[in-house]
C-alpha cells in the first residue's frame, strides 16, 4: 500500500509515518511545517519507502495513493487560535482536497476528527451518538466547527460519491515530540516541572481530561484504517479520567520537582469534563489503550529531559518568553 499522511511532520503524524513504514508500506508525508518539524522525521528521510513534501493542504494536490490519513491541522488551542481563519481553511479546504483526491484515485481516507466536536459536553462519558455542545462563535470554534464540517464533508462524499471514509474522534493524546511551547497541558506541566517554574493550573484544576499515550493512539488509527466493519465515527482515547490538578500532582511526583502549583484564569469555553466511551472501538477494532498514564508520563518526561540537556528546551521556551 502507498499511504499519504498529511500533517506527517507533527506529533501524532510522525509516529504514524514510522509505524506505517515498519508495517511495510510506502509513505508520502505532506506538511506545511506550521507546527510540524523536519526533526521529527529526520530518522526516516533516508528510508527508501519514505517521501517528504512541503505542501499546504488548503491547496489541491494530485498523487497516486491507496490510503490517506488526513492529520493536517494545528491541534493545541494556542496554535489553532493563532490564525483562526487559516485553521478553518485547513479543516474545510484541506478535507475537501483529500476527499476529492480519494474520490479520484479511489483511495480510502481516514479523517482525524476530535473530541472537540462534543464541545463542553452535557453527556458523560461521550458516546459517538452524542451531537455535542459547541459554541459556534467562541475562540475554540475555528477548530471545533472546522472539524465538525470536516466530518460532514466525509459523510457527504461517502453518501454522494461512494468515497471510502473512516472517521475517528481523537481524545487528548500525549507523548514525546509534543512541542515544548505549544501550550497543551501535558507538555506545559512537564516543561514547567523540569525547569523548576510554577505549574500553571487554569481555573481550579477540577476540570477533567482522559490522556492517551501516542503509541496506543497510532495503533487505533491503523486498526481503524484496516477494518471494514464501520466507517465511524469512532472515539479513540484512553477512558481513564483525571482532573488537571491530579495530572499536575503526578508530574511533580514523577519529576521530583519543587515547582509550586499556581492558578491562572480558566480560558473561555474550556470543557469541564471529558472522557471517551470506547465501546465502539473495542467492538469494531478490537482496540483499547494499553499504556497507563504514569508509564506514558515517564517516557514523555524522558524526552523533555533530553531536550533540557541539549539546550533545546531552553531555546523553545525563551522564544515565547
Ligand atoms: P500537530 O500540530 O503536532 O500536527 C499537525 C501537523 O499538521 C503539523 O505537522 C502541521 O505543520 C501540519 N499542518 C497544519 N496545517 C497544515 C496545512 N494547512 N497544510 C499542511 N500541513 C499542515 O498536532 P497533533 O497533535 O499531531 O494532531 C494531529 C491531528 O490529530 C490533527 O488533525 C488534530 O486535530 C488531531 N487531534 C489531535 C489530538 C491530540 O490530543 N494530539 C486530539 C484530537 C485530534
Ligand atoms: N491547562 C492548564 N494549564 C496549562 C495548560 C492547560 O490547566 O498550562 C488546562 C486547560 O485549561 C484544559 C486542560 O488543561 O482544561 C487541557 O488543555 P489542553 O490545551 O492540553 O487541551 P484541550 O483543552 O484542548 O483538551
Q: Which atom of ligand 1 is nearest to the CA of 9?
A: 9
Positions marked catalytic: 143
Does residue 154 contact residue 117 with C-beta atoms inside 8 Å?
A: no
Statement to judge: residues 224 and 313 lie in one domain: no
Q: Do 29 and 126 belong to one domain?
A: yes
Q: What angle do CA 128, 134, 140 make, to 5 degrees?
A: 115
Whether residue 101 is found in the same domain as residue 244: no
User: Domain span at residue 163?
Assistant: 2-174+212-236
Atom of ligand 1 nearest to the CA of 72: 7
Please tell me the total count of domains within the chain. Answer: 2
Same domain, 33 and 159: yes
One domain for residues 54 and 121: yes
Q: How far is the CA of 185 from the centre of ligand 2 (A)?
A: 5
Same domain? 9 vs 105: yes
Cβ distance 229 to 284 under 8 Å? Answer: yes
Please tell me whether the overall predicted TM-score, pTM, comes out greater than 0.75 for this model: yes
- Looking at the structure, do residues 126 and 19 belong to the same domain, yes or no? yes
User: Does the beta carbon of 172 sit less than 6 angstroms from any atom of ligand 2?
Assistant: yes
For residue 261, which phi and psi values (nearest 5 degrees)? Answer: -90, 125
Distance 11 CA to ligand 1 centre (A): 7
Helix axes 244-255, 293-310, angle to 10 degrees: 60
C-alpha grid cell, residue 211: 490522556
Exposure of 200 by Cβ count < 10 A (0-12 exposed, 13-18 middle, 19+ buried)? Answer: middle
Q: Is the CB of 73 under 6 A from ligand 1?
A: yes
**Do the domain assignments include residue 196?**
yes
Is the CB of residue 276 less than 8 Å from the CB of residue 214? no
Contact status, residue 254 vs residue 304, Cβ threshold 8 Å: no
Peptide bond into 116 cis (omega under 30): no
Residue nearest to atom 6 of ligand 2 (CA): 185
Q: Are 34 and 131 contained in the same domain? A: yes
Q: Is residue 280 within 8 Å of 287, Cβ to Cβ?
A: no
Q: Are 174 and 300 in contact (CB under 8 A)?
A: yes
Q: How far apart are CA 203 and CA 3, in angstroms?
A: 42
Residue nearest atom 17 of ligand 1, based on CA coordinates: 56
Atom of ligand 2 nearest to the CA of 75: 24
Reported residue count of the chain is 321
The closest residue, in CA terms, to atom 14 on ligand 1 is: 73
Taking only the tens of pLDDT, the chain with its 321 residues reads: 999 999 999 999 999 999 999 999 999 999 999 999 999 999 999 999 999 999 999 999 999 999 999 999 999 999 999 999 999 999 999 999 999 999 999 999 999 999 999 999 999 999 999 999 999 999 999 999 999 999 999 999 999 999 999 999 999 999 999 999 989 999 999 999 999 999 999 999 999 999 999 999 999 999 999 999 999 999 999 999 999 999 999 999 999 999 999 999 999 999 999 999 999 999 999 999 999 999 999 999 999 999 998 888 877 766 543
Amino acid at each position: 500500500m502507498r499511504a499519504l499522511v498529511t500533517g506527517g511532520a507533527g506529533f501524532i503524524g510522525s509516529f504514524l509515518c514510522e509505524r506505517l513504514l515498519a508495517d511495510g508500506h510506502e509513505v508520502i508525508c505532506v506538511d506545511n511545517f506550521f507546527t510540524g518539524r523536519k526533526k521529527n522525521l529526520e530518522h526516516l528521510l533516508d528510508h527508501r519507502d519514505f517521501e517528504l513534501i512541503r505542501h499546504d493542504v488548503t491547496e489541491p494536490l494530485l498523487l497516486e495513493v491507496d490510503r490517506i490519513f488526513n492529520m493536517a491541522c494545528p491541534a493545541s488551542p494556542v496554535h489553532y487560535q493563532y490564525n483562526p481563519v487559516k485553521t478553518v481553511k485547513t479543516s474545510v479546504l484541506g478535507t475537501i482536497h483529500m476527499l476529492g483526491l480519494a474520490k479520484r484515485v479511489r483511495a480510502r481516507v481516514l479523517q482525524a476528527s476530535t473530541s472537540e466536536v462534543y464541545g463542553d459536553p452535557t453527556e458523560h462519558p461521550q458516546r459517538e451518538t452524542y451531537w455535542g455542545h459547541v459554541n459556534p462563535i467562541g475562540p475554540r470554534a475555528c477548530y471545533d466547527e472546522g472539524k465538525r464540517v470536516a466530518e460532514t464533508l466525509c459523510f457527504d462524499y461517502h453518501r454522494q460519491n461512494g468515497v471510502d471514509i473512516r472517521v475517528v474522534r481523537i481524545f487528548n493524546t500525549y507523548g514525546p515530540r509534543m512541542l515544548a511551547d505549544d501550550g497543551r497541558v501535558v507538555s506545559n506541566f512537564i516543561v514547567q516541572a523540569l525547569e523548576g517554574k510554577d505549574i500553571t493550573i487554569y481555573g481550579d484544576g477540577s476540570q477533567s481530561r482522559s490522556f492517551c499515550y501516542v503509541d496506543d493512539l497510532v495503533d487505533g488509527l491503523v486498526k481503524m484504517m484496516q477494518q471494514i466493519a464501520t466507517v465511524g465515527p469512532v472515539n479513540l482515547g484512553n477512558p481513564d479520567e483525571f482532573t488537571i490538578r491530579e495530572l499536575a500532582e503526578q508530574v511533580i511526583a514523577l519529576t521530583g520537582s519543587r515547582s509550586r502549583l499556581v492558578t491562572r484564569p480558566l480560558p473561555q469555553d474550556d470543557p469541564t469534563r471529558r472522557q471517551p466511551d470506547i465501546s465502539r472501538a473495542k467492538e469494531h477494532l478490537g482496540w483499547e489503550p494499553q499504556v497507563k498514564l504514569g508509564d506514558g508520563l515517564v517516557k514523555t518526561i524522558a524526552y523533555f529531559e533530553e531536550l533540557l540537556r541539549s539546550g533545546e528546551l531552553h531555546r523553545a521556551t525563551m522564544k515565547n518568553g
